[in-house]
Structure formats: structure tokens, C-alpha cells
């Protein structure tokens, strides 16, 4: 795989603005070429800031929201009204403020009996959307998949050392909590789905991410201990938007935007 496209920004605000501009451009291109844009959201504080930037009228007005289809990369097993819900956060920061039709939103259901059931149901939902049997090949290719980066190297809800890392035959699985809060079960896309995306965009900010950013970008890949090193789109592109505090252990780059 070629080196990721690294976009360094001065601070979390310019990072979020740059990432929101990237999403707008990706959506416009995809809608022009394929008549729709399938976007996978992630949880976390850096993405939240990006969603707020995307909701601003100057950006939101550039996108045909009727052709946007919005999915979740992972979800905490709590009701959407719970402040810890990833999709709940995305609604408050973005989806409640843009004219996206309700039927184009595909949150992971957490009203079912167990996270295992939620994972099965989301796999079936993806099967219906992409018009194929859940878990079958080829793995669906989302147009753009967003990821945060946990301090421990997790992405989506693929935590270090967990059996979820080995799930290759299903598109969606569930995980017990990792070591970082919140301590709730999760439902997550699996690594083959992440790597099948046409574009993957990491959003990472803050000094506390500096060590793990260095480990992911500069050290040899070690998927089991640092799941983010397993993110290697098979034919898609890989982009990183990071701010200078998160990039501080990397060598000097181009002057930040």
C-alpha cells in the first residue's frame, strides 16, 4: 500500500474545517460519478467537531443531501438518547441540522436484546442496502469511512487483543468494552469492511494522541496490539487529518494549514 495522504493542521479547529471540506468534496465527486454518496460516521470528540463544521450553511449547502446515505462505523450499546451514543452525537452535531431524508440514515439499532443481535441486524441491513447476502463477497465498498484513533490504537470498536480483530467472514460484529471509557458493549464494522472502503479518513487531534500516531505511522504494523495499523484500504485511498499536537512526535512536515 502506498503511504497515506497526511494532512497536518495547526489546531483542532482548522483540522475539523479541513476535514469537513474534504467530506464535501468527496460527496460532490461521488454524487457526480455514482449518483450517491455512502458515508460511514465514527464516534469521538474530533469527529464531533468535524460534524459541526460540516453542518455550517456554507458547507452543507454544497451537498445534495437527498443523495447522501449515512451509516455508523461503530456504536456503543446504549439507547440513542444516551449521551454516549455515537449516532446520537452525530444527530446533534450534524444530522439534525441538514436536509438529509430520515430514510437515508442507517444507525445501528441498540433497542434489540443483545449486542450480538444488533450486529446481526446491522449486517442484514447492509445486505439489503447493497443488495447482497450479509457477509458474502464482495465486501461492500462505502464511498467514505471516517475513523477516530483511540489512545490505545483502536479504531471503530476494534480493540487491541480482542477476538473481533479476527472476524473476517462477517461485515459487522460485537465487542465487549475495551480498556478506555465508556465501559459498554459495542457493535462495530469489521476490518474487511473498513479496508474495502473507497476512501478512509482518520481524524486525530490532541497531544495525548502523539505517541500512538507515531506508532501507527512510523513503526512496523502490529494489528493485534495496535488495530489502527491494520487499516490498509485494499484499493481505496487512506487519508489522515491530524493537528500539530497529535503530530508532534513525527518529523517536521509542511507548514501546517
Binding site residues, ligand 6PG, CB under 6 A:
42-46, 74, 76, 86, 148-150, 154-157
Looking up cell 490504537 gives 153
CB 187 within 8 A of CB 122: yes
Question: Cα(first)–Cα(last) distance of the chain, in Å?
Answer: 26
Output the smallest distance, CB 110 to ligand 6PG, in A.
Answer: 12
Output the smallest distance, CB 178 to ligand 6PG, in A.
Answer: 9
Of residues 148 and 236, the one with the C-beta less far from ligand 6PG: 148
Output the smallest distance, CB 184 to ligand 6PG, in A.
Answer: 9
Cβ-based neighbours of 219, under 8 Å, separated by 6 or more = 226, 229
How many residues does this entry show for the chain? 257
Instruction: Supply φ then ψ for residue 204, to 5 degrees.
Output: -135, 125
Cα–Cα distance, 237 to 59 (Å, whole number): 23
Of residues 126 and 155, the one with the C-beta less far from ligand 6PG: 155
Looking up cell 445501528 gives 108
Q: Which helix (H) or strand (E) holds 195?
A: helix 191-196
Output the smallest distance, CB 56 to ligand 6PG, in A.
Answer: 20
Of residues 51 and 69, the one with the C-beta less far from ligand 6PG: 51
Cα–Cα distance, 239 to 3 (Å, whole number): 9
Output the smallest distance, CB 8 to ligand 6PG, in A.
Answer: 17
Of residues 67 and 92, the one with the C-beta less far from ligand 6PG: 92
Output the smallest distance, CB 39 to ligand 6PG, in A.
Answer: 15
Alpha helices (H) along 6-56: 12-34, 45-55
* CA distances in angstroms from 181 to 152, 201, 253, listed in the order given: 12, 23, 32
Of residues 141 and 147, the one with the C-beta less far from ligand 6PG: 147
Q: Which helix (H) or strand (E) holds 38?
A: strand 37-41
Of residues 61 and 208, the one with the C-beta less far from ligand 6PG: 208
Q: By Cβ distance, which residue is nearest to ligand 6PG?
A: 148
Output the smallest distance, CB 69 to ligand 6PG, in A.
Answer: 19
Between CA 208 and CA 44, with CA 192 as vertex, the angle to 5 degrees is 30
Of residues 155 and 247, the one with the C-beta less far from ligand 6PG: 155
Each residue of 130-144: b (16+ CB within 10 Å) or e? beeebbeeebbbbbb
Amino acid at each position: 500500500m502506498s503511504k497515506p495522504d497526511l494532512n497536518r493542521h495547526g489546531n483542532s479547529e482548522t483540522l475539523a474545517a479541513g476535514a469537513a471540506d474534504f467530506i464535501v468534496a468527496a460527496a460532490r465527486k461521488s454524487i457526480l460519478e455514482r449518483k450517491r454518496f455512502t458515508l460511514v460516521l465514527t464516534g469521538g470528540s474530533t469527529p464531533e467537531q468535524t460534524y459541526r463544521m460540516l453542518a455550517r450553511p456554507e458547507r452543507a449547502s454544497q451537498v445534495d443531501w437527498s443523495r447522501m446515505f449515512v451509516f455508523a462505523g461503530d456504536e456503543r450499546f446504549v439507547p440513542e438518547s444516551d449521551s454516549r451514543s455515537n449516532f446520537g452525537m452525530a444527530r446533534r452535531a450534524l444530522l439534525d441540522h441538514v436536509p438529509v431524508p430520515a430514510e437515508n440514515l442507517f444507525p445501528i439499532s441498540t433497542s434489540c436484546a443483545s449486542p450480538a443481535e444488533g450486529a446481526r441486524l446491522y449486517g442484514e441491513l447492509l445486505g439489503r442496502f447493497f443488495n447482497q447476502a450479509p457477509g458474502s463477497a464482495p465486501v461492500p465498498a462505502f464511498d467514505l469511512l471516517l475513523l477516530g484513533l483511540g489512545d490505545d490504537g483502536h479504531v471503530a470498536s476494534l480493540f487491541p487483543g480482542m477476538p473481533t480483530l479476527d472476524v473476517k467472514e462477517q461485515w459487522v460484529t460485537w465487542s465487549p468494552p475495551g480498556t478506555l471509557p465508556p465501559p459498554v458493549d459495542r457493535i462495530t464494522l469489521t476490518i474487511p469492511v473498513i479496508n474495502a472502503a473507497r476512501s478512509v479518513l482518520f481524524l486525530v487531534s490532541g497531544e495525548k494522541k502523539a505517541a500512538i500516531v507515531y506508532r501507527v505511522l512510523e513503526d512496523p504494523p502490529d494489528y493485534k496490539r495496535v488495530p489502527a495499523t491494520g487499516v490498509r484500504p485494499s484499493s481505496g485511498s487512506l487519508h489522515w487529518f491530524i493537528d500539530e499536537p497529535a503530530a508532534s512526535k513525527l518529523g517536521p512536515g509542511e507548514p501546517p494549514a
